[in-house]
Amino acid sequence: MVDIKKQVETLLFATGRSLTLKELSELTKQESLEDIKKALDDLKRDYTEKDSALHLVGENDIWKIAVKPEYAHMTSNLYSKTEFDKSLLETLSVIAWKQPIVQADVVKVRGTLTYDHVKILKELGYIESEKFGRSRKLKLTAKFYDYFDVSKKELEGKFKDVKDVSQELEKTAKEKNIEPFSTPIPDKPLI
């Protein structure tokens, strides 16, 4: 008899990335998402009980095995070179902070390099965009959350108290004589 919990753990460990319940179901050939969810809950409890340096991180239907924050410093030097230059990372930060955000608003803050940055970030799979009037609506993908090892709720918490950045963006917008950000994005395009 095959142990679903061990299959799920194997897949999460071997891929080293987040997997959805649907992906886990397909890879384990288990049709019941409830069985997958139960295996994940059992696995999460196991990691908690054995006081491991790893833990199971899950939000909604996306799960992964990760190093606990208190041990993350041990692995930081393993990832010494980033694939992002400073300018690209700054553009990604603005998108992450205000997502979903209209591309035109990012251009107001970051300049015309935004168009190149958006193209690169989409090709790398960290953001997605959809037509929004005469601009595009930008938002983060699951790959972003996986790469930066942060959940959507954690990211929102990190940006909650970002006053200095907000003030800098306001200052930059005033210097360029533009409005800092458009009104919030409605569910449907206005145009």
More confident residue, 35 or 77: 35
- Average pLDDT of 162-186? 62
Report the distance separating Cα 180 and Cα 33, nearest Å.
Answer: 44
Q: Which position has the higher pLDDT, 20 or 173? A: 20
pLDDT of residue 111: 86
Mean predicted lDDT score pLDDT of the chain: 81
pLDDT of residue 165: 58
pLDDT average, residue stretch 86-99 = 89
Indicate whether 103 pLDDT > 90: yes
H/E/C letters for each residue in 84-132? CCHHHHHHHHHHHHHCCEEHHHHHHHHCCHHHHHHHHHHHHCCEEEEEE
Residue scoring higher pLDDT (2 or 48): 48
What would the CATH number be for the domain defined by 86-175?
Answer: 1.10.10.10
Structural fold of domain 4-76: Arc Repressor Mutant, subunit A (1.10.10)
d(CA 152, CA 165): 19
How do the domains of the chain map onto residue ranges? Answer: 4-76, 86-175
Per-residue pLDDT at 167: 63
Whether the bond between 100 and the residue before it is cis, its omega within 30 degrees of 0, is yes
**In angstroms, rounded to a whole number, what is the distance separating the alpha carbons of residues 30 and 48?**
25
pLDDT band with cut points at 50, 70 and 90 for residue 124:
confident
